[in-house]
Amino acid sequence: LYLLDSSGSMDRLWQGPSGGPGLLRQSLGGLGGRDEYGVWGVAGKPGRPYRTVLPLGPHRRADAERTVTARARVQDAEADPHAALLAAFDVMEGLGADDRPQLIVHITDGEDNDRLTGGRLREVLDRAGTAGVPVTVVSLQNAGCDLDRPDRRIADASGGRCLDTGDDLGAALQDEVARTGTGDG
């Protein structure tokens, strides 16, 4: 399940292959035709932290890319990563514990991480540590994966990875998605 930060601050990081949607589309190359995935645009009003860009299910890559291009939009709203991540864990839990590998990919500029402090961060970290679903955080800011940063702490607690501008984000994310899809993640 992809969580694409769609808050207003992402406007400067939206276009091109290194923008949020571009990185997401590149990573679809790591998925097969029977893999199930969806995309949420993370920004909204209280009580509605995301909107569905691509429903959860199997998709042909070309169709998914077209849908993301057409429907993913920067919103004049803030992101609530706390609420979106908790909702994503709920969805993954609802899918059940079968043999299919699961992954949450959170692509963000980190501008709304001020909403991930104190008890709200602790709640996400606790859930990440018990959900059994790795979270790969793609931080589009420098030093977004430093040890003390929320993005890194969430990835570590979940057994996932944190990727930031020090990495080749497109290749690293595609590799991470492919590894998870084959059960090697």
**pLDDT one-digit tens code per residue, 11-53:** 999 999 999 999 999 999 989 888 999 999 999 988 899 999 9
pTM score > 0.85 for this model? yes
Range of the domain at 49: 2-181
Domain with residue 119: its CATH number is 3.40.50.410
Give the C-alpha distances (Å, rounded to integers) separating 68 from 2, 46, 75, 136, 153: 11, 24, 15, 19, 28
Would you state the structure tokens that stand for residue 170, as one six-digit string?
Answer: 């497109």
Q: How many domains does the chain have?
A: 1
Quick one: angle between helices 118-130 and 81-94, nearest 10?
20
Q: Per residue in 152-180, pLDDT tens? A: 999 999 999 999 998 899 999 999 999 98
How big is the CA angle at 123 (ends 116 and 143), to the nearest 5 degrees?
35
Quick one: angle between helices 150-158 and 118-130, nearest 10?
20
